[in-house]
Amino acid sequence: MLQTTVSPLPSRPAWRILHSEASRGWGGQEHRVMAELSGFQKRGCPVWLVAHPQSQVLKRARDAGMGTRECLFDRRLLPLDAVRLALWLRRERIQIVNTHSSRDGWLLGIAARLARTPLLIRSRHIDVSYPNPRVSRHAFSTFADHVLTTSQKITDHFQEIFHLTSDRITTLPTGIDVTRFHPTGAKAELPVRQEPGAPPVIGMVSVLRSWKGHLVFFEAVRKLRDAGQDFQCVVVGGGAPVEVFAGMARQHGVEDQVKFAGHREDVPEVLRALDVLCIPSVKHEGVPQIGLQALACGTAVVGSDCGGIPEIIQEGITGRIAPAGDASALAARIAETLTQKEATARMCRAGREMVEKKHSLDFMLDRLEEIYSSRHHGL
């Protein structure tokens, strides 16, 4: 009998990976940290997180059974903390350090260099200016072997101001769990009418921050109402006090149209309950995870041309784009989305296909493995 030999699949390296995050909040950046940590944890890698003791990401990491270490990120303690962390990195034999914010970037960057950690990565999630690039460039060169960004616009900016070569920087938006974020599934209960035949629901799903464009959104809602458009409106998200944003809605006279649902963990269900998701950001935006999540759920998206939004909400292909800060244009694009149903359905299908091919969680983790392997010396 002829016997065949099946070669075993190559095993993945069990890299010892540490991430750091100085932020205490819970937004897209912290979601990315947890996505990488939990993804590699499931792939058999020991993972750790250094974070502020009062941060939400630290609690979530602990709940997920990850290794954690508390740090206050007090600048006055930087020399002492750097030495302590360097000793700890050596003791735990950490092979990869990935920093995410300014304070932890400097602190863990110094500690990792003292510990001779084989691979030091600096991740950048939002597009901001650097008034003193000669100093800031050290965070992305001296204290980073490789830089990760969430959008090509950020990458282009960094290459321009910090003169990073293409082999030192990679654009890699946060991967989406395409089984969890899927067009089919339950829909969330929201503070709007949801019975058959109810008016369509437009909404925002984001942390409550000034640059996310809520003021522009509320003005667009007023314009839609004044034009006689039949719709319902919901704002989902936490962060800043909701009363501040409710005041913005009153400022535009749409307090009766806009319902606030607060922070929600059932994001896929929320997105499936929306007819249109709006991302009217006015600055600091990379590639927003909520945009990719909405596309994965088959939810129509209207975004601004801010940051990396047009990289995924491609005009006329996967969604519609309005100039940042232009409420009239935003209202018009929302109206088109609701009335041009065949075109909208086509864009929703194309958006789902794009996420499956280029922005899944496995795609992101595989690409990270390639980066780690390409810098394998000492790993």
Residue type, 262: G
Say what the pLDDT of residue 379 is.
58
140 shares a domain with 270 = no
| Count of structural domains within the chain | 2
Burial of 69 (0-12, 13-18, 19+ CB in 10 A): middle
* DSSP class of 1: -
Based on the fold, state whether residues 143 and 212 are members of the same structural domain. Answer: no
**282 and 247, same structural domain?**
yes
**Structural domain harbouring 114:** 17-175+360-374
Q: What average pLDDT values come out for the chain (379 residues) when binned by 10 residues?
A: 43 92 93 97 98 97 98 97 98 98 97 98 91 91 96 95 95 97 97 95 95 97 97 94 94 95 96 98 93 98 97 98 98 98 98 97 97 74
Residues 147 and 118 in one domain: yes
254 and 223 fall within a common domain = yes
Residue 189 lies in a domain: no
Comparing CA positions, the residue from 314, 269, 273 lying closest to residue 291 is: 314
For residues 222 and 365, membership in a common domain is answered with no
- Residue 171: CATH number of its domain: 3.40.50.2000
Q: What would the DSSP string read from start to end of 336-360? A: HHHH-HHHHHHHHHHHHHHHHHHSB
Q: Do 41 and 118 belong together in one domain?
A: yes
- Answer yes or no: do 164 and 236 share one domain: no
Q: What is the pLDDT of residue 5?
A: 43
Does 5 reside within a domain? no
* Six token digits for residue 317: 């292909």
Tell whether 230 is covered by a domain.
Answer: yes
Q: Are residues 370 and 326 in the same domain?
A: no
Are both 22 and 165 inside the same structural domain?
yes
**CA dist., res. 334 & res. 227, Å (int):** 12
**Contact call for residues 34 and 61 (beta carbons, < 8 A):** yes
Indicate whether 191 belongs to any domain: no
| Residue 215, domain member (yes or no) | yes
